[in-house]
C-alpha cells in the first residue's frame, strides 16, 4: 500500500500526532491516570496505550484518507459528471473484516484485564471498609479496629481489598494513580482492590455526582513502610491526646458545650453508626495531613476558616446546616472560641 517515502511521511505524522496528544497531559498532575503506581492502574494504563496507538493509527489512516479524497477530487472547471460508481463488494468486505480483526485483537487483553482487576489476588491482604457520606469518607480497618476519615493509610506492596458502601446517595471511589473507579451504593456493598508499589501520597476523589459539594469530596491514600503502618495503626488505637495548653483545654470544653461531641466521636474505633448525624471520628484528627475531605492542608489557618463558616468551604454540608453552633445564634462561636477549638483539634494526635 505504501512505498518508502509515503511510509516515512505516515510514520512521521503518527509520531507527530502522538507527541502532540501526549504533551497535552502532564503525568505529574496529582490525579493523572498516565502515571500508574500500582498493578491495577498499570494494567489499565497498558491497555490504554494499546488502544491509544491503535486509535491514532486508524485516525491517521482514515483521517488522512478523508483529507486526500476531498483535496484530490475537488471539482474542477468544466468537469463533467463523474462515473456513477455504486459500490464494490471486495472493498466492503475488506473494511468490515479489518476493523473486526483489530477489535478482536484488543478484545483479548480487555477480557483478561477485566478479570484481573475484578478479582483480588489471594495471599496477604489488608481489608478496609469505606463508607461514603455526602461529602466525606469514613474508613474502617476491621482487623485492627481503627476508624478514621478521608485518609487511608496502607502498607506499601500489600494488596488492599476495599469494601465500599454508601450512607446516602451514590458515590464512586477513585485513586487515579492506583486504580480505576468503583461505584458505591446505599443498601449494598461493592468491592475493589489495589496495591501501591511506592511509598507516597496519592490523591483520590469521588467520581459519581453526589450533590452540591461533589467537587469537594476528595481523599488521600498514604502508603507507609510496613513498620510505619504498624506504628500508625497503634497510634490510631490509642486514646485521644489530652489537651496540653490552656487554649486546648478551653477548646475541649467547647467541644462538649457546643455539642460537637454529639456527632464527632473522640474515642478510637467508634464508627458513625448511632450518632444523630454521621460525622468523622476526630480522635486523631490533628495527625491527619489534610482536612475537610482532602481539600485543604491541615493547619490552623484552614481550620479557622472551616470553623468560621463551613458552608463557605463546602456548600451544603451537614455541620453547617445542623450543628447548634451554626444554627442557633446564641451558641455561635466567637473568635476566641474558634482559636481554642483550633488548638484543641490540632492537639488531637
Partner 1 sequence: MASIAGVFRRPTHPAGVWGWITTVDHKKIGALYGVTAFFFFMVGGLEALVMRIQLARAGQDVVSPEVFSQLFTMHALTMIFLGVMPLSAAFFNLIVPLMIGARDVAFPRLNAFSYWLFLFGAIVLQSGWLLGGSPNTGWFAYAPLTSNSFSPGNGMEFYIVGLGVLGISSVAAALNFIVTIINMRAPGMTLMRMPVFIWMTLITSFLLITAFPVITVGLIELYFDRTFGMNFFNAAAGGDVVLWQHLFWFFGHPEVYILILPAMGIVSEVLPTFSRKPLFGYEVVVLSGIIIGFMGWAVWSHHMFTVGLGPIANSVFALTTMFIAIPTGVKIFNWIATMWGGSISFKTPLLFSVGFIAMFIIGGLSGVMHSIAPSDAQQQDTYFVVAHIHYVLFGGSLFAIFSGIYYWFPKATGRMLDDRIGQVNFWLTMIGFNLAFFPMHFLGLDGMPRRQYTYSSDMGWDIWNFVSTIGGLILGVAVLVFLFNFFLSLRKGEIAGNDPWDGRTLEWSISSPPPEYNFATIPTVHGRDAFWEEKYGHGGKVPAGVSPEEGHQGGIHMPSPSYLPLIASLGLSIAAYGLIYSFAVSVVGAVIALAAIYGWALEPAAEPAGRES
* Subset of residues 134 to 173 that bind partner 1, contact rule: CB under 8 A: 168-170, 172
Decide the pairing of beta strands 151-155 and 146-149: unpaired
Q: Which of residues 292-311 bind partner 1 (CB under 8 A)?
A: 295
Cell numbers at 238, concatenated: 490509642
Q: Which of residues 234-293 bind partner 1 (CB under 8 A)?
A: none
Q: Which is nearer to partner 1, 7 or 58 (CB)?
A: 58
Q: Which of residues 8-27 bind partner 1 (CB under 8 A)?
A: 21, 24-26
DSSP string, 179-221: EEEEEE-BTS-EEEEE---SSEEEEEE--S--STTGGG-EEEE
Candidates 107-115, 141-149, 242-250, 321-329: pick the segment binding partner 1 (CB under 8 A).
107-115
Bridge partners (DSSP) listed for residue 172: 183
> Within 13 A of 110's CA, how many CA atoms are on the CB side?
7
Decide the pairing of beta strands 218-224 and 151-155: parallel
Kindly state the number of chain residues that form the binding site for partner 1, as judged by CB under 8 A.
93
Cell numbers at 165, concatenated: 458502601
Give, in order, the Cα–Cα distances in Å from 238 to each of 142, 235, 279, 284.
Answer: 16, 5, 20, 9
- Tell me if 43 contacts partner 1 by CB under 8 A: yes
- Considering the complex, what minimum distance in angstroms separates the CB of residue 94 from partner 1? 9
* Binds partner 1 by CB under 8 A, chosen from 38, 39, 176, 243: 176
- Considering the complex, what minimum distance in angstroms separates the CB of residue 328 from partner 1? 22
- Tell me if 174 contacts partner 1 by CB under 8 A: yes
- Tell me if 47 contacts partner 1 by CB under 8 A: yes
What is the Cα–Cα distance from 109 to 283, expressed in whole angstroms?
46
- Tell me if 191 contacts partner 1 by CB under 8 A: yes
* Binds partner 1 by CB under 8 A, chosen from 7, 15, 99, 244: 99
Amino acid at each position: 500500500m505504501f512505498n518508502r517515502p509515503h511510509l516515512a511521511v505516515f510514520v512521521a505524522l503518527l509520531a507527530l500526532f502522538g507527541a502532540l496528544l501526549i504533551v497535552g497531559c502532564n503525568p505529574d498532575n496529582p490525579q493523572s491516570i498516565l502515571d500508574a503506581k500500582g498493578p491495577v492502574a498499570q494494567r489499565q494504563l497498558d491497555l490504554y496505550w494499546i488502544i491509544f496507538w491503535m486509535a491514532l493509527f486508524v485516525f491517521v489512516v482514515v483521517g488522512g484518507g478523508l483529507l486526500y479524497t476531498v483535496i484530490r477530487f475537488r471539482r474542477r472547471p468544466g468537469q463533467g459528471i463523474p462515473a456513477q460508481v455504486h459500490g464494490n463488494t471486495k472493498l466492503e468486505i475488506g473494511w468490515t473484516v479489518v476493523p473486526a480483526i483489530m477489535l478482536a485483537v484488543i478484545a483479548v487483553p480487555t477480557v483478561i484485564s477485566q478479570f484481573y482487576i475484578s478479582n483480588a489476588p489471594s495471599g496477604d491482604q489488608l481489608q478496609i471498609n469505606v463508607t461514603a457520606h455526602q461529602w466525606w469518607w469514613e474508613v474502617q480497618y476491621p482487623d485492627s479496629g481503627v476508624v478514621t476519615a478521608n485518609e487511608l493509610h496502607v502498607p506499601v506492596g500489600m494488596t488492599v481489598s476495599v469494601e465500599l458502601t454508601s450512607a446516602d446517595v451514590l458515590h464512586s471511589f477513585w485513586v487515579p494513580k492506583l486504580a480505576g473507579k468503583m461505584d458505591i451504593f446505599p443498601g449494598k456493598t461493592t468491592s475493589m482492590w489495589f496495591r501501591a508499589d511506592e511509598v507516597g501520597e496519592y490523591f483520590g476523589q469521588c467520581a459519581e455526582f453526589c450533590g452540591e459539594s461533589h467537587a469537594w469530596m476528595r481523599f488521600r491514600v498514604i502508603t507507609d513502610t510496613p513498620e510505619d503502618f504498624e506504628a500508625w495503626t497503634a497510634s490510631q488505637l490509642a486514646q485521644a491526646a489530652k489537651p496540653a495548653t490552656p487554649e486546648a483545654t478551653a477548646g475541649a470544653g467547647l467541644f462538649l458545650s457546643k455539642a460537637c461531641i454529639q456527632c464527632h466521636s473522640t474515642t478510637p474505633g467508634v464508627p458513625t453508626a448511632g450518632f444523630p448525624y454521621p460525622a468523622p471520628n476526630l480522635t486523631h484528627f490533628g495527625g491527619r495531613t489534610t482536612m475537610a475531605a482532602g481539600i485543604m492542608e491541615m493547619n490552623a489557618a484552614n481550620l479557622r476558616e472551616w470553623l468560621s463558616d463551613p458552608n463557605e468551604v463546602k456548600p451544603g454540608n451537614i455541620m453547617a446546616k445542623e450543628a447548634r453552633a451554626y444554627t442557633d445564634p446564641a451558641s455561635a462561636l466567637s473568635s476566641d472560641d474558634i482559636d481554642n477549638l483550633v488548638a484543641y483539634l490540632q492537639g488531637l494526635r
